[in-house]
Amino acid sequence: FTEPNTVLALQAQYVGVTSVNLTWMVNDSASSSYTFRIEFVNGTSVENRTSRVPETEIIDLIPGARYNFTVFAVAADGQTEGEGEFITVYTKPNPVLVLQAQYVGVTSVNLTWMVNDSASSSYTYRIEFVNGTSVENRTSRVPETEITDLIPGTRYNFTVFVVAADGQTEGEGESIILYTKPNPVLALQAQYVGVTSVNLTWMVNDSASSSYTYRIEFVNGTSVENRTSRVPEMEITDLIPGTRYNFTVFAMAADGQTEGEGESVIVYTKPNPVLALQAQYVGVTSVNLTWMVNDSASSSYTYRIEFVNGTSVENRTSRVPETEITDLIPGTRYNFTVFAMAADGQTEGEGEFIIVYTKPNPVLALQAQYVGVTSVNLTWTVNDSASSSYTYRIEFVNGTSVENRTSRVPETEITDLIPGTRYNFTVFAVAADGQTEGEGESVIVYTIPVSVNSFQCVPVAKESYLLLKWACPPGYNSAFKIEISNSTWKNESWALPCTTEGSEKNFRTVSLNYFSTYNVSIATVSNGSESLPVQKTCTTGITDPPAPSTAPLVKVVSHSSLSVQFADFKSVNGPLKAYAVMITTEKQGCDSLEFKLNNTYKDFKKKTTITYVAYVIDAEQDKTPSLHSQNGTNIVNIGKGNKMYGYENGPLIPLHSYRAIVAGFTNITFTVANLIVAEDSYVSFSPCSDAVFLPQDPGVIAGAVIGCLLALLAVVTIGGFIFWRRRRKDKRNTEVSFSPIKSKMLKVENFESYFKKQQADSNCGFAEEYEELKSVGVHQPKFAAELAENRGKNRYNNVLPYDISRVKLSDQSSVTDDYINASYIPGYNSKKAFIAAQGPLPNTVEDFWSMIWEKNIYSIVMLTKCVEQARTKCEQYWPDKETKSYGDIVVTTVSEIVLPEWTIRDFTVEKSNTPDSHTVRQFHFTSWPDHGVPETTDLLINFRHLVHTYSTQNPIDCPTLVHCSAGVGRTGTFIAIDRLIQQIEMENTVDVYGVVYDLRMHRPLMVQTEDQYVFLNQCVMDIIKSQKDKKTDLIYQNMTAMAIYENFTPGTGFGKANGYH
């Protein structure tokens, strides 16, 4: 057979891992009978396959191996072969095994794989990585590779192809899809940090960032939590306030698994705002703040305290929830804000603020620039820098009354104050908030009292004092200062205060000169301040002219007339209005002349009087023919037969002795019959002249004999009269006895209506009654008191005891030694229940104690202070705390108890050289002004009860000694109220008028003033009202006092406010 032609177009139709499909062509005509031998050589290994067709699949090859395939066409004989056609083919390697990313980075990936092919040592590798449409290749000679320059966070499909030694034949690719790691986030920050939340933001510059998600990991201690976000920001909530958190943000590729490196930020959540922030103390330059914090992390907190004043901002820190801020400006507005600060020392919570004004400094130099009656101008200074914004609160206190005023400037006028009142003004500087006050600065100021209104000075008839009257001014007063002066003399007196505005206040001045002009000023006094004085020029009243010391000179003119020559009376007590020449035929006719001024010549002729008024001269009119006057000497002819007023100047009887007395009048009052009313006239008398004897009528010789007989008879008569009078006088002095007294007795039940009637028109009815009592008893003789030897024993020359009722001392070395200015006064049950006495003089203290001893006195009632208004009213007649002798009487002070209204003293009294002694108790009432009345009726009522209760325990017939200064005003009032109370209790009747009438019959001027008389009636009224209201017997308040003295337990009346209940 011929050799077939060489096959054509030999090619590897398919190359696999362990097989190769070869195809070829044969153009020989005999090719249909051909067989084909396929020889494939690998290294030294030769194998053959046969095929009946122009293609074949060679299997069981070694992967990735180099084969030299030669195809021989074999003729039909099976032996004749043509030339071989060859082709070199590498089988495909096996795919790589265990392809994995050994490392995935941001821009690189490290891939590793394995290959088990025997030919693998000759392999190379192609690594194809696809990102979207981008395809790149890398080659490697070893089964690993690092792919770099990748895009961060991007999805890559990595395929590794094994390449046989020919560098072309590749196995099947093995793929792995990987995402590169994203870049770490940038600019991670806490955009907002709250109390329980944090807002994080970050940036990512990766091109793939739009597909990223983010994992946020936050760590607090051992607690780890995660959140995810699709955007580059995140709000993390439900955090713990004031706590440290480590926030880490991871960018996560689109696979949801591949994360970039985490970026961290440490953040402290804000603490909660502090609670209950308050100023525990606010001072002038410091403030103490306190607050609370409820956060669990608060133990690690510090606090920043910011305080702002205007544009000035300062800070303090504190480790505890309180602080003291010092060095502040006084009176200034501060905004204090407290921030809780976490443990990092930076993260602060919201500030809690409080606005506080520091206290202003106390004001300085507070003073009353002006003090008026109802206003005070205060000024002060303030040195604080903030003072321009201050207001000021002015508090002024009067007793329990508190008022306030405000001022915007450091001065103020406080008006509508009470005159004469003590005010405590306190000024507080108030900061601009109107609430914060500095410490107050105080000043005590007394407003000026108000001047008195309706000031009058009233002359008092026959008194040398002036009665001053005024209306009680508004406001308070503690006294009234009264100055009385003339060109040569000045006196200052004090009047007690008054309480009822507009009520009339009366004051009796000291004794002045009669008929004299004085300047009188009165100023209201309160707490040492005086009002403007109110001034008046006042003239005192007139009284009896001074009695001349020289008797008139009487000369015989004829057998029926005589001349009386006398000098003008001195007009110091008032201008002389008239003179009356009185004629008497007896020396005793010169006594008690005031009762004889209405005796006329007719009475003399009828022999009903031996003394008569012969002639009245009007001193202010022209001289009459019967009067001759020259150089103050007047000569009146008596017996001329002319008439003046109701008096006849009839002829005198020859051969009679006549004496003349001249009466001078500063005021003269006549009856309808033109006779002198002695009671209403102011008169004094000259001494009685020597007697002159008228000669016989020349034409009547026998008349001489008759005249002699008559003269003898007259002498005998006069002698007998004198003897009889002395006997009568001595008899009367042995017993106190009077004619019946006048009375105005009333039933108790009728007294109230009587009281209201008498009280009407400013006590007009009582004034009339009192006026009626003025002359009661005054005509009774006071010979003993008027004796020259006794005048020095009288404190006042117008308060003299009547002879009929005076107390006589038994121990006497001379006739006048029995005299003491004291009088027996009847009580309700006894004619000698009381002795009313003047306050002792230094020279009568011994007599005073002698009287106490002799008259067996156990109780003394003293109603005056020893000194009142700087004038001595009574000598202190008792020892203070020791034993003292007063003549032969020895007195020892045993005890003294001082109470607000009175003082009680006990004395032991004994007489020298005798074993006898007894106790004397002195009840000293200290609240009764001279010529005035006690403040309330119950004071006197209670005091009287105290005395009465004690006195009833004394031995029978022991009088109670009562004295004040003169022994008539206060003394008379006390004795009267004692009698009236017993009269009410025993008879159910009352006779104030009759009691005072009876007292005045025993001692002059008893119940000395109209005020005291009205006060007596008021006492009676109050007693009757108390009985009527309670329908009980009289029970007195001051049983408390008696309990002190007598150690008895008070009964039901203990402690009541009124004397009766």
626 has a pLDDT exceeding 70: no
In whole angstroms, give the CA distance from residue 362 to residue 283: 11
State the DSSP string of 134-150: EEEEEEESSSEEEE-SP
Statement to judge: residues 460 and 440 lie in one domain: no
114 has a pLDDT exceeding 50: yes
**Residue 43 belongs to some domain of the structure:** yes
In whole angstroms, give the CA distance from residue 226 to residue 295: 24
661 has a pLDDT exceeding 90: yes
- Band of pLDDT at residue 620, cut at 50, 70 and 90: confident
Q: Residue 111: how many CB atoms within 10 A of its CB? A: 26
**Residue 820 belongs to some domain of the structure:** no
Is there a contact between 921 and 859 (Cβ–Cβ < 8 Å)?
yes
Statement to judge: residues 602 and 653 lie in one domain: yes
**Residue 714 belongs to some domain of the structure:** no
Q: For residue 754, what is the enclosing H or E element?
A: helix 748-773
Domain termination site, one of 423, 446, 469:
446
Q: Is the pTM of this model over 0.75?
A: no
| CATH number for the domain that contains residue 229 | 2.60.40.10
- Band of pLDDT at residue 706, cut at 50, 70 and 90: very low
Is there a contact between 575 and 553 (Cβ–Cβ < 8 Å)?
no
Statement to judge: residues 128 and 197 lie in one domain: no
Residues 6+ apart with CB under 8 A from 171: 17, 63, 64, 92, 93, 94, 95, 96, 161, 162, 163, 164
**Residue 700 belongs to some domain of the structure:** no
φ, ψ (nearest 5 deg) of residue 403 = -130, 160
Statement to judge: residues 875 and 951 lie in one domain: yes
The residue to which tokens 């002070």 are assigned:
893
**Residue 68 belongs to some domain of the structure:** yes
In whole angstroms, give the CA distance from residue 104 to residue 47: 47
Looking at residue 200, its amino acid is: L
- Band of pLDDT at residue 223, cut at 50, 70 and 90: very high
Angle made by CA atoms 654, 659, 660, in degrees to the nearest 5: 115
Statement to judge: residues 483 and 619 lie in one domain: no
In whole angstroms, give the CA distance from residue 816 to residue 788: 10
Statement to judge: residues 169 and 287 lie in one domain: no
In whole angstroms, give the CA distance from residue 585 to residue 710: 12
In whole angstroms, give the CA distance from residue 960 to residue 973: 14
Domain termination site, one of 268, 300, 316:
268
pLDDT > 70: percent of the chain: 91
1034 has a pLDDT exceeding 50: no
Q: Which residues pair with 682 in a beta bridge?
A: 667
Q: What does the pLDDT read at residue 564?
A: 95
**Residue 174 belongs to some domain of the structure:** yes
116 has a pLDDT exceeding 80: yes
Q: In residues, how long is the chain?
A: 1061
Report pLDDT digits (tens) over 782-837: 989 999 899 999 999 999 999 999 999 986 666 668 999 999 999 988 899 999 99
Q: What does the pLDDT read at residue 729?
A: 40
Statement to judge: residues 755 and 842 lie in one domain: yes
Which of helix, strand or coil describes residue 707?
A: helix
Domain count, the chain: 8
Question: Annotated active-site positions, please?
Answer: 964
Statement to judge: residues 633 and 755 lie in one domain: no
Overall average pLDDT of the 49-55 stretch: 95
- Band of pLDDT at residue 738, cut at 50, 70 and 90: very low
Which of helix, strand or coil describes residue 1030?
A: helix
User: What DSSP designation does 1044 have?
Assistant: H
**Residue 299 belongs to some domain of the structure:** yes
Q: Which residues of 538-575 are buried (b: 16+ CB within 10 A; e: fewer)?
A: bebbbbbbeebeebbbbeebbbbbbbbbbebbebebbe
Which of helix, strand or coil describes residue 736?
A: coil
End-to-end CA distance of the chain: 183
Q: What does the pLDDT read at residue 717?
A: 53
Largest CA distance in the chain: 261
Statement to judge: residues 859 and 974 lie in one domain: yes
Which structural domain, as residue segments, surrounds residue 472? 453-512+522-532
722 has a pLDDT exceeding 60: no
Q: What does the pLDDT read at residue 502?
A: 87
Report pLDDT digits (tens) over 275-310: 999 999 999 999 999 999 999 999 999 999 999 998
588 has a pLDDT exceeding 90: no
In whole angstroms, give the CA distance from residue 536 to residue 193: 92
Is there a contact between 426 and 404 (Cβ–Cβ < 8 Å)?
no
1042 has a pLDDT exceeding 50: no
φ, ψ (nearest 5 deg) of residue 32 = -70, -20
- C-alpha distance from residue 953 to each of 249, 830, 960, 1001 (Å): 116, 15, 12, 29
Q: What does the pLDDT read at residue 587?
A: 85
Is there a contact between 84 and 162 (Cβ–Cβ < 8 Å)?
no
Is there a contact between 22 and 13 (Cβ–Cβ < 8 Å)?
yes
Overall average pLDDT of the 682-692 stretch: 94
In whole angstroms, give the CA distance from residue 184 to residue 264: 10
Domain termination site, one of 335, 357, 379:
357
Statement to judge: residues 484 and 425 lie in one domain: no
730: left (phi over 0), alpha (psi -120 to 50) or beta: alpha
Token digits of residue 888: 């032969």
Which of helix, strand or coil describes residue 517?
A: strand
Q: What does the pLDDT read at residue 718?
A: 52
Q: For residue 786, what is the enclosing H or E element?
A: helix 783-786
Is there a contact between 835 and 852 (Cβ–Cβ < 8 Å)?
no
Q: What does the pLDDT read at residue 521?
A: 95
Overall average pLDDT of the 1041-1045 stretch: 41
Residues 6+ apart with CB under 8 A from 163: 93, 123, 124, 125, 126, 139, 169, 170, 171
Q: What does the pLDDT read at residue 628?
A: 57
Q: Considering only 96-100, 565-569, 713-717, which range has the smallest mean pLDDT?
A: 713-717
Statement to judge: residues 750 and 842 lie in one domain: yes
Overall average pLDDT of the 1034-1044 stretch: 41
Q: Considering only 189-198, 365-374, 666-675, 716-725, which range has the smallest mean pLDDT?
A: 716-725
**Residue 17 belongs to some domain of the structure:** yes
937 has a pLDDT exceeding 80: yes
Is there a contact between 56 and 82 (Cβ–Cβ < 8 Å)?
no
Strand 917-925 versus strand 859-862 pairing type: parallel
Statement to judge: residues 966 and 831 lie in one domain: yes
In whole angstroms, give the CA distance from residue 1022 to residue 557: 69
